[in-house]
Amino acid sequence: MVDLDFAVEAAAVESYSAAPLLVFQLRVTNRTPALKVQNVMLNCQIRIEAPRRNYDLDERERLVELFGEPERWGQTLRSFLWTHASVSAPRFDEECRVDLPAPCSFDFNIAATKYFHGLKNGEAPLNFLFSGSIFYRDADGALQIDQISWTKEASYRLPASLWQSMMDQYYPQSAWLRLSRDMFEQLYRYKRQKGLMTFEHALQELLDARTTRPAS
């Protein structure tokens, strides 16, 4: 039986992707080098281990929507799923390195986006849970297949600045909001009726009107 270990060594922003993409560098180590690995079909669940760091007052305020009032974080601050990723590792004997691509979203309806946006500095604690299939040659040279042990995982602390620089690269001075179709049609109608150039102008006018409205 092949025994593999995994470590996340680094992370970088993919510059030439159509959508935000982080690439994690994995080191895969074969602890049974007598069995030659032909290929690994690797799947990974990436989780955010929110309790594994401290948060300053500003970050606590920015994360209220996600975890509730800070006074309750002893019950509400929990780890949660960020994303799934997969990659194929080539043939190796003792060790190899592969790039694991992790698609990212700037949709603020997604918990991970709210979390990363809420961090002003420091690092986001991540946990990588591995699964998948290992193809290898046994002592007689016959091709075999085995499953990666469900206990295989690796930790990594992602710099918050890396996430922020990625979103600045893909969406400079911008953010994404998803609206229901009915709400979009109302906003679009308001924009047309007012002769406004952009949706941002429409939203700004509505916010200004709310701010200047006299209290009843």
> What span, in angstroms and rounded, lies between the C-alpha atoms of 116 and 167?
10
Q: CA dist 125 to 46, 116, 143, 145, 165, Å?
A: 10, 11, 38, 33, 18
SS3 174: coil
> What span, in angstroms and rounded, lies between the C-alpha atoms of 39 and 117?
37
Residues 60 and 144 in one domain: yes
Residues 109 and 204 in one domain: no
Residues 63 and 135 in one domain: yes
pLDDT band at 215 (very low <50, low <70, confident <90, very high): low
Contact assessment for residue 7 and residue 157, using Cβ atoms and an 8 Å cutoff:
no
Residues 145 and 207 in one domain: no
* Residue 19, φ and ψ in degrees, nearest 5: -140, 165
Per-residue pLDDT for 20 more than 80?
yes
Residues 45 and 132 in one domain: yes
Amino acid at 186: Q
Q: 136 lies in a domain?
A: yes
Please tell me the predicted confidence (pLDDT) of residue 200: 87
pTM confidence score: 0.84
pLDDT band at 154 (very low <50, low <70, confident <90, very high): very high
Residues 166 and 186 in one domain: no
Q: Which residues are bridge partners to 40 per DSSP? A: 89, 134
Residues 191 and 158 in one domain: no
Q: 175 lies in a domain?
A: no
> What span, in angstroms and rounded, lies between the C-alpha atoms of 80 and 53?
14
Residues 56 and 115 in one domain: yes
Please tell me the predicted confidence (pLDDT) of residue 130: 97
Closest CA to 13 of 167, 175, 176, 173: 167
In the chain, how many domains are there?
A: 2
Query: Range of 185's domain?
Result: 181-212
**Cα 197 to the center of its chain, rounded Å:** 34
pLDDT digits (tens, 9 = 90+) for 37-96: 999 999 999 999 999 999 999 999 999 999 999 999 999 999 999 999 999 999 998 999
